[in-house]
Structure 1
Amino acid sequence: MVRKLIASAVLLTSTMAVNAADNKLSHIGQSLNLDNFRKDVKTLASDEFEGRAPLSKGEDKTIDYLVSQFKEIGLEPAFGESYIQKVPLARILADQDFSLQMGGMTFENGSEFVARTQRISETIKIDNDVVFVGYGINAPENNWNDYEGVDVEGKTVIVLVNDPGFSSGKPDFFTGNAMTYYGRWTYKYEEAARQGAEAVFIVHETMPAGYGWGVVQAGGTTAKFTLVDNNNNQSQVGVMGWMHLRAAQKVFEAAGMNYREMKKAAGQRGFEAVDLNQTAQLTLDNTIEHKESRNVAAILPGSESPDEWVALHAHWDALGKGMENGKEVVLNGAVDNASGTAGVLELARVFKEQAKENPYKRTMMFGAFTAEETGLIGAKHFAQNPPIPAKDIVAFLNIDGMNVNDATDYTLQYGDNVSELEDYVEEVAKSQGRTVKPDPRPQNGLFFRSDHFAAAREGIPSYLFMSLGDTDPQFIANRYHKSGDDYFESWTLGGVKQDLDLIGQIMAKLADNGDWPQWTGDSDFKDARKASGR
């Protein structure tokens, strides 16, 4: 009889635990208040916030709003006694009255090339030889090294955008049409610096880049922010440039070569870098300011494992003010990314209320970081200076643009066989009656272009939730990074509700089940996590 009573008690306790867990999951979607979401987006994306540019009055308003919301919700500060993590930045703006001389020709800034630097130097001057190094990739695991047998120390290199897999038609060559990190412009500058090059010009082509020249021109001719290392970034390349396709064709023609033929050759194994027998001359006169921006984050402490964190994040910044058709406009960034920031706030409210009766075992972090639009800078600073050891962050979930329209029968996945977080997404999506669809634009390399990537590089399993145009085909063409990215009362928010429910259920599972998701595919991320002891 005693054994039966004990067995019954154990079964009852187990059943109660399962029911409590199911209760938490089922009530996330039911507890979402879309009126709160609307209010947050309308506020953050209003003209009063001036486009939320880092180091602007719009930043001050944004930070004040986020901190006040976290306090009102009742969350604790994530950074000791503060909700704020200071992010030291340098703002670098080159005098735009300069040109590039190459191959006996003069190219116009903005229309034919763009160039900037991250070195903390008032003047950057190049006068050196030019070498074409194909895709500018050194990938031992792919038996590929464009720099093999060539000395580019102190020289200018011209490289192709994306990676050799893009136009190969072979899904097992690199990763076929899906961009690898070797295809990202950030990698190409990093590798060129490791090889000792002084300047890099990436040849722009719209399809393999994933965006038109206008995006390059807008980003390359305005002030940029950068973190600053102990050597004032002197180990980075002096000139980070892009070259319009037409300009590149002229350069190759002046060297007695055909650009298309050289591009085709560069996509084949055994390609050898080519000296173009030309020189490049360019001078950047820079104005440099040192300032501090801010990350914001709050926590809901765990009841049993408070030193293990499940992180949810969105970048709070947009692009501030810009020019369209000769007029100054405010780039409010309602979808990108006031929507993501509002999503973080609303899930924070839901979980805080839930935890009053059913606390979570692990700590949940709710964050919003600065300067994503200028190079994932706030996220890099957080990942390199986390409030707890990076190995104790269970997962980093990132929202970068939400589906503000009707609900869908799918969710998008960026990357494939990246981490076990993909299994969580598939399981919860299935429970919602949805499928997981692959990224429809894999050539854009979106996995490498948002804040979670900074966490991934430190080994933290990370996942991107993004909806930028898949439910509104006109968004990318007409509103993305433009003044048209405003809040609209006509938003139905069906997608917001289902996606916040999806993200919330994943957070809830990770906060209670004791799991440590792992990287699955071979990568530097996997190596970093393994080195941390996880």
Structure 2
Amino acid sequence: MFRTLLLCGALTCTGAAALAENLSAIGQSINLDNYRQDVKTLASDEFEGRAPLSAGETKTIEYLVSQFKDMGLQPAFGTSYVQEVPLAKITADQNMALQMGDLSLVNGSDFVARTERISEEITLDNDLVFAGYGINAPEYNWNDYAGIDVKGKTVIVLVNDPGFTSGDKAFFNGRAMTYYGRWTYKYEEAARQGAKAVFIVHETMAAGYGWGVVQAGGTTPKYTLVDNQQNQSKVGVMGWMTLRAAEKVFSAAGVDYRAVKKAAGQPGFKAIDLKQQVKLALRNSIEHKASQNVAAILPGSQNPDEWVALHAHWDGLGMGMENAKQVVLNGAVDNASGVAGVLELARVFKAQVKAKPFKRTLMFGAFTAEETGLIGAEHFAKNPPVPAKDIVAFLNIDGMNVNNATDYTLQYGEGVSELEDYVARVAKNQGRFVKPDPRPQNGLFFRSDHFAAARQGIPSYLFMSLGDTDPQFIASRYHKSGDDYFASWSLGGVLQDLDLIGQVMAELANNGDWPHWKADSSFKEARKASGR
């Protein structure tokens, strides 16, 4: 009765009862009191927003390791539950101003700027170029950098990709963002082109989030993996600017922003020299320190070297500023809710394995520095405890539906991998259907830790419910101080989603299957190259 009541609300109670009856043995074993306590603890002010390399990280790692030890799970990294992730913490001096031509732009309200280079100061005194969407995509016969040399220059680019405004699915996948639309790609490509700085023009619809999210992320300390060249191959300045600021800059250069934006979405666009000088002094304090990934395993009885992985990032944004006051960004939904889900399923599987061991190894993990660019996941994917080709699947939870149950599960991407078929089958047995991503323009498939695993060829799947059942979440609480734990959460969605995830894991742990990538992609090529 308790679970049935939790499921009432978004559905009729009759429908909720049917969902409750369809819960598997996994779902029936889930203890929502344990789940609630984990979220409440991890999202408490005591954990200070769980920023990497902070006192909040220390508390988080200690909590996770102690939970895995208490469950009786084994360490995933040899004899250790933790994997060191070598980071540089880069804190930009926020007392900076950006000069573009004769215009002085204000940090925070007009632009934000940071770097991943290990440099105490990066100075801009260079030319300004508009490079459309900043995309070089041979398969689409598209190159925004064709015919112009941007080496050592500052580049302005548009957010998302040309398909967003066209709506034509045959053109850059229409409104569904490709990786070319992600800000991470735009910085990567600009670096390959030799640019010294990039500023992405923010527009809320095309970005998928408001300027407040960019402002919060761009004015707080950032973290990066460090290579043996001190990251000098990365673009020097990684920036964003508001639409209003961009319009002023283009107008001062005698260019109609709206007109060139429209032109940039058409084949044959040519980059434009804005004939303006850019000046900026980006000063940084740099701290080198290791952060921690955490993971534990239930070893398989027959094929222990074949792993099925479940993961959620443990990190949040730490402390931030809102209305000139310091606040704790507790990150309850994003992503204490996901970490709690990993912990609860670990408890459930540990109890079940006593009766019947699983053939393959089950891994339960929580990684660092997702919010700064999937850094912990990237390090794990490049340095896994077993070869990447032996990881059967990587399932990732990034924000759970803490509200009432639904009659659907969200799917990010379409025709990507055979994991979609597993999820669809289980959802159908639960009385649910698969609902396509309602915001494909946001490119969520590329924005969470599973993407780092996918780039190594590991079939990966994202379970995410950020604001889907709470329309005000993205606008009012996402990456803000309002993302707190609430005792009023019904957790009906958590129950049904953990049941679904658990069933997929259990099936993969015993059936000997190796899910494949469906569409031709770099993911598929990487898996093929690994021998799978």
TM-score (norm 2): 0.94
| 1:236-255 per-position Cα deviation (integer Å, ceiling 9, x unaligned) | 11111111111111221122
Match of 1:227 in 2: 225
Alignment counterpart, residue 413 of structure 1, candidates 405, 411, 414:
411
Whether 1:57 and 2:51 are equivalent positions in the alignment is no
Alignment counterpart, residue 340 of structure 1, candidates 329, 338, 341:
338
Q: Distance in 1 between matches of 2:166 and 2:185?
A: 20
Match of 2:15 in 1: none
Match of 2:373 in 1: 375
Q: Distance in 1 between matches of 2:402 and 2:331?
A: 13
| Contact 2:313–2:366 (CA under 8 A) maintained in structure 1 | yes
Give runs of aligned pairs for residues 93-112 of structure 1, distance below 5 A: 93-112=91-110
Q: Distance in 2 between matches of 1:408 and 1:246?
A: 39
Alignment partner of 2:260: what SS? helix
Return the letter of the residue paired with 2:251. Answer: E
Give runs of aligned pairs for residues 223-302 of structure 1, distance below 5 A: 223-302=221-300
Deviation at 1:148, TM superposition (A): 1.3
| 1:333-357 per-position Cα deviation (integer Å, ceiling 9, x unaligned) | 1111111111101111111111111
| 1:261-290 per-position Cα deviation (integer Å, ceiling 9, x unaligned) | 000111110111111112211111111110
Alignment partner of 1:338: what SS? helix
Match of 1:3 in 2: none
Return the letter of the residue paired with 2:350. Answer: K
| 1:127-161 per-position Cα deviation (integer Å, ceiling 9, x unaligned) | 11111111010111111111112111111111111
Q: Among all aligned residue pairs of Structure 1 and Structure 2, give the percentage whose two residues are the same amino acid.
A: 80
Return the letter of the residue paired with 2:99. Answer: Q
Aligned length: 511
Deviation at 1:325, TM superposition (A): 2.9
Alignment counterpart, residue 437 of structure 2, candidates 436, 439, 442:
439
Uncovered stretches (5+) of structure 2, i.e. residues with no partner: 1-21
Match of 1:9 in 2: none
Larger displacement relative to structure 2 (316-325 or 170-179): 316-325
| Contact 2:210–2:475 (CA under 8 A) maintained in structure 1 | no
| 1:364-387 per-position Cα deviation (integer Å, ceiling 9, x unaligned) | 000001111111111111111111
| Contact 2:209–2:474 (CA under 8 A) maintained in structure 1 | no
Q: Distance in 2 between matches of 1:272 and 1:328?
A: 44
Match of 1:14 in 2: none
Match of 1:18 in 2: none
| 1:274-332 per-position Cα deviation (integer Å, ceiling 9, x unaligned) | 11112211111111110111010000000111000000000111121222333322221
Alignment counterpart, residue 33 of structure 2, candidates 32, 35, 38:
35
Return the letter of the residue paired with 1:260. Answer: R
Q: Distance in 1 between matches of 2:443 and 2:197?
A: 24
Alignment partner of 1:79: what SS? coil
Q: Distance in 1 between matches of 2:113 and 2:44?
A: 32
Q: Distance in 1 between matches of 2:160 and 2:465?
A: 22
Q: Distance in 1 between matches of 2:278 and 2:319?
A: 33
**4+ runs deviating over 4 angstroms:** none
Alignment partner of 1:193: what SS? helix
Q: Distance in 1 between matches of 2:322 and 2:192?
A: 38
Structure 1 277/325 Cα, relative in aligned 2: closer, same or farther at 3 Å?
closer
Deviation at 1:403, TM superposition (A): 0.8
Alignment counterpart, residue 46 of structure 1, candidates 44, 47, 50:
44
Match of 2:67 in 1: 69
| 1:214-252 per-position Cα deviation (integer Å, ceiling 9, x unaligned) | 111111122111110110000011111111111111221
Structure 1 532/249 Cα, relative in aligned 2: closer, same or farther at 3 Å?
same
Match of 2:306 in 1: 308
Return the letter of the residue paired with 1:392. Answer: D
Return the letter of the residue paired with 1:159. Answer: V
Deviation at 1:406, TM superposition (A): 1.1
Q: Distance in 1 between matches of 2:104 and 2:50?
A: 37
Alignment partner of 2:63: what SS? helix
Q: Distance in 1 between matches of 2:325 and 2:158?
A: 34
Structure 1 381/483 Cα, relative in aligned 2: closer, same or farther at 3 Å?
same
Alignment partner of 2:416: what SS? coil
Deviation at 1:113, TM superposition (A): 1.2
Alignment partner of 2:503: what SS? helix
Alignment partner of 1:88: what SS? strand
Match of 1:351 in 2: 349
Q: Distance in 2 between matches of 1:389 and 1:212?
A: 39
Q: Distance in 2 between matches of 1:491 and 1:519?
A: 36
Larger displacement relative to structure 2 (391-400 or 518-527): 518-527
Alignment counterpart, residue 424 of structure 1, candidates 409, 422, 429:
422
Match of 1:17 in 2: none
Uncovered stretches (5+) of structure 1, i.e. residues with no partner: 1-22
| 1:17-63 per-position Cα deviation (integer Å, ceiling 9, x unaligned) | xxxxxx9x931111111111111111111122111111111111111
Q: Distance in 1 between matches of 2:215 and 2:273?
A: 27
Return the letter of the residue paired with 2:477. Answer: R
Give runs of aligned pairs for residues 377-392 of structure 1, distance below 5 A: 377-392=375-390
Q: Distance in 1 between matches of 2:104 and 2:36?
A: 51
Match of 2:131 in 1: 133
Alignment partner of 1:487: what SS? coil
Q: Distance in 1 between matches of 2:111 and 2:475?
A: 22
Match of 2:526 in 1: 528
Q: Distance in 1 between matches of 2:508 and 2:387?
A: 18
Alignment counterpart, residue 448 of structure 2, candidates 447, 450, 453:
450
Return the letter of the residue paired with 2:388. Answer: A
| 1:406-457 per-position Cα deviation (integer Å, ceiling 9, x unaligned) | 1110000011111111001100000000000011111111111111111111
Deviation at 1:522, TM superposition (A): 1.7
Match of 1:8 in 2: none
Q: Distance in 2 between matches of 1:326 and 1:253?
A: 31
Alignment partner of 1:416: what SS? coil
| Contact 2:216–2:321 (CA under 8 A) maintained in structure 1 | no
Q: Distance in 1 between matches of 2:529 and 2:146?
A: 29
